[in-house]
């Protein structure tokens, strides 16, 4: 029976947990049948506190699904040439299946140049131009983690609450980054959505958002999307992770909110991701998915299906 009620909360935390469990089974199978343990290397340059937390979580999650994890920490005085040399060594190391260089990099480095030095088969972020190009022309490659996780949640929500596919739906993506907005647009186009990318120069943004059956917010501004920008019955995917100060009983405290005003948008939405526990946990789960995928491709094995 089709569920016609509104305001369902999309449980990204639960979905990510299930995905990590399914990945752990596939990793154990790969080990038992082929003697291969996928290995992810994360490189962090400098001491950005948020990046340090992300990198620690990535390492712990990698170990938890049975993969090998290495973290390489470099000082922010590292030269671009030294980082490129390290990447060349990791590219040549057959025991390394995935390489992730944590962004942002210090200002004296070109992140485009660094990312493009990674072997595209080991580029588990899916940021290399070869992987971006493959996504654009509909070839199999490695897909960026946050858009991939967002699509998984969206497909599951539409199946659960709408009963159908995404084909023909109007999707509006607010944000045009290489990491989220642009790959998300390609993924939704590949699902036969009609896709619009909005950005800081877009005119009549509220009116545009109100046309969206699928609204993806990836602007990095707290509660930027107001409740009355959401069309009744829309699916809302909030990619934002913004730390703000709010008044607490003992003074100011910090809180994480998304790019959407969740409480105001929820009554309009058919289903909406919360922040935290929405898209965020999917990013790491998809990184593990991409590492397993990369390890299989490097050994000439088919990528695991049915995850
Ligand atoms: N910094 C914030 N998000 C990401 C990500 O998805 N990949 C990398 N490499 N750095 C990030």
pLDDT digits (tens, 9 = 90+) for 112-158: 999 999 999 999 999 999 999 999 999 999 999 999 999 999 999 99
Q: Which of 42, 56, 179 to mutate to test the pocket of ligand 1 (most atoms within 8 A of CB)?
A: 179
Separation of alpha carbons 121 and 131, rounded Å: 9
Indicate if 166 and 217 belong to the same structural domain: yes
Strands 39-45 and 98-101: parallel
Q: Going by CA atoms, what residue is nearest to atom 9 of ligand 1?
A: 102
pLDDT digits (tens, 9 = 90+) for 224-255: 999 999 999 999 999 999 999 999 888 999 99
Indicate if 76 and 205 belong to the same structural domain: no
Separation of alpha carbons 127 and 106, rounded Å: 18
Helix (H) / strand (E) element for 253: namely strand 251-257
pLDDT digits (tens, 9 = 90+) for 27-77: 999 999 999 999 999 999 999 999 999 999 999 999 999 999 999 999 999
Indicate if 153 and 273 belong to the same structural domain: yes
Q: For the chain, how big is the Rg over CA atoms in Å?
A: 20
Indicate if 200 and 256 belong to the same structural domain: yes
Strands 242-248 and 251-257: antiparallel
Residue 5 has pLDDT above 90, yes or no: no
The finding on whether 103 has its CB within 6 A of some atom of ligand 1 is yes
| Residue 193 binned pLDDT confidence (cut-offs 50, 70, 90) | very high
Separation of alpha carbons 36 and 57, rounded Å: 23
Percent of the chain clearing pLDDT 70 (strictly above): 99
Separation of alpha carbons 216 and 225, rounded Å: 10
End-to-end CA distance of the chain: 25
In a domain, 18, yes or no: no
Indicate if 48 and 172 belong to the same structural domain: no
Indicate if 103 and 228 belong to the same structural domain: no
Separation of alpha carbons 57 and 80, rounded Å: 25
pLDDT digits (tens, 9 = 90+) for 202-220: 999 999 999 999 999 999 9
Residue 1's pLDDT is 44
Residue 29's pLDDT is 97
At 241, which CATH number? 3.40.50.720
Residue 163 has pLDDT above 90, yes or no: no
Residue 2 has pLDDT above 80, yes or no: no
* Total count of domains within the chain: 2
The finding on whether 43 has its CB within 6 A of some atom of ligand 1 is no
Instruction: List, in order, residues 6 or more apart from 28 with CB less than 8 Å away.
Output: 66
Residue 105's pLDDT is 98
Average pLDDT over residues 277-299: 97
pLDDT digits (tens, 9 = 90+) for 73-114: 999 999 999 999 999 999 999 999 999 999 999 999 999 999
Indicate if 113 and 218 belong to the same structural domain: no
Separation of alpha carbons 224 and 222, rounded Å: 5
In a domain, 64, yes or no: yes
Indicate if 270 and 191 belong to the same structural domain: yes
How many Cβ atoms are within 10 Å of 11's Cβ, its own excluded? 18
Q: Going by CA atoms, what residue is nearest to atom 8 of ligand 1?
A: 102
According to DSSP, the residues that pair with 39 across neighbouring strands are 68
Strands 170-174 and 214-217: parallel
Indicate if 151 and 95 belong to the same structural domain: no
Is the entire prediction scored with pTM above 0.85? yes
Residue 82 bears catalytic tag: no
Indicate if 259 and 180 belong to the same structural domain: yes
In a domain, 298, yes or no: no
User: One of 11, 26, 123, 125 is an active-site residue; which one?
Assistant: 125
Indicate if 254 and 165 belong to the same structural domain: yes
In a domain, 24, yes or no: no
How many Cβ atoms are within 10 Å of 250's Cβ, its own excluded? 6
My answer on whether omega of the bond before 146 falls inside 30° of 0, hence cis, is no
At 85, which CATH number? 3.40.50.10860
Residue 125 bears catalytic tag: yes
Residue 201 bears catalytic tag: no
Domain around 106: 35-125
Separation of alpha carbons 47 and 184, rounded Å: 29
Contact indicator for 245, 252 with CB cutoff of 8 Å: yes
Separation of alpha carbons 61 and 215, rounded Å: 29
Residue 192 Ramachandran class (φ > 0 left, ψ -120 to 50 alpha, else beta) = left
Contact indicator for 252, 237 with CB cutoff of 8 Å: no
pLDDT digits (tens, 9 = 90+) for 261-274: 999 999 999 999 99
Residue 3's pLDDT is 55
């Amino acid at each position: 029976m089709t569920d016609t009620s509104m305001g369902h909360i999309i449980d990204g935390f639960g979905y990510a947990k299930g995905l990590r469990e399914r990945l752990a089974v596939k990793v154990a199978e790969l080990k038992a049948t082929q003697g291969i343990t996928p290995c992810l290397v994360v490189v962090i340059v400098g001491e950005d506190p948020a990046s340090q937390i992300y990198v620690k979580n990535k390492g712990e999650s990698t170990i938890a699904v049975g993969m090998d994890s290495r973290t390489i920490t470099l000082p922010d005085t590292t030269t671009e040439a030294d980082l490129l040399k390290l990447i060349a060594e990791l590219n040549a190391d057959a025991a390394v299946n995935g390489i992730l260089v944590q962004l942002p990099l210090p200002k004296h480095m070109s992140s485009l140049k660094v990312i493009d030095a990674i072997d595209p088969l080991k580029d588990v972020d899916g940021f290399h131009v070869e992987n971006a190009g493959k996504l654009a022309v509909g070839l199999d490659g490695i897909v960026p983690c946050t858009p991939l996780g967002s699509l998984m949640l969206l497909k599951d929500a539409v199946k659960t609450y709408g009963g159908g596919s995404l084909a023909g739906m109007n999707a509006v993506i607010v944000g045009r980054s290489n990491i989220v907005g642009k790959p998300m647009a390609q993924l939704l186009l590949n699902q036969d959505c009609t896709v619009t990318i909005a950005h800081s120069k877009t005119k009549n943004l509220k009116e545009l958002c109100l046309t969206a059956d699928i609204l993806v917010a990836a602007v990095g501004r707290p509660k930027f999307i107001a409740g009355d920008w959401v069309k009744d019955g829309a699916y809302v995917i909030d990619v934002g992770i913004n730390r703000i100060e709010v008044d607490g009983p003992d003074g100011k405290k910090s809180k994480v909110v998304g790019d959407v005003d969740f409480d105001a948008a929820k009554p309009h939405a058919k289903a909406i991701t919360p922040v935290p526990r929405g898209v965020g946990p999917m990013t790491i789960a998809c990184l593990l998915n991409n590492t397993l995928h990369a390890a299989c491709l490097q050994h000439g094995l088919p990528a695991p299906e049915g995850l």
